[in-house]
Amino acid sequence: MTTLESLQSMLRPAELSELSGFPETTLATWRSRGRGPKFVRIMGRVYYRKTDVDAWLTDQIEASA
Q: 11, 19 in Cβ contact below 8 A?
A: yes
Please tell me the pTM assigned to this model. Answer: 0.86
Q: pLDDT tens digits, residue range 20-44?
A: 999 999 999 999 999 999 999 999 9
Domain definitions of the chain by residue range: 3-64
Topology of domain 3-64, CATH: Multidrug-efflux Transporter Regulator; Chain: A; Domain 2 (1.10.1660)
Q: What is the mean pLDDT of residues 7-26?
A: 94
pLDDT of 8 higher than 90: no
Q: Which of 39, 35, 37 is nearest to 58 (CA)?
A: 37
Give the 3-state DSSP-derived string for the chain, with helices as H, strands as E and coil as C: CCHHHHHHCEECHHHHHHHHCCCHHHHHHHHHHCCCCCCEEECCEEEEEHHHHHHHHHHHHHHHC
pLDDT at 3: 73
Report in angstroms the alpha-carbon separations of 32 from 23, 36, 58: 15, 10, 22
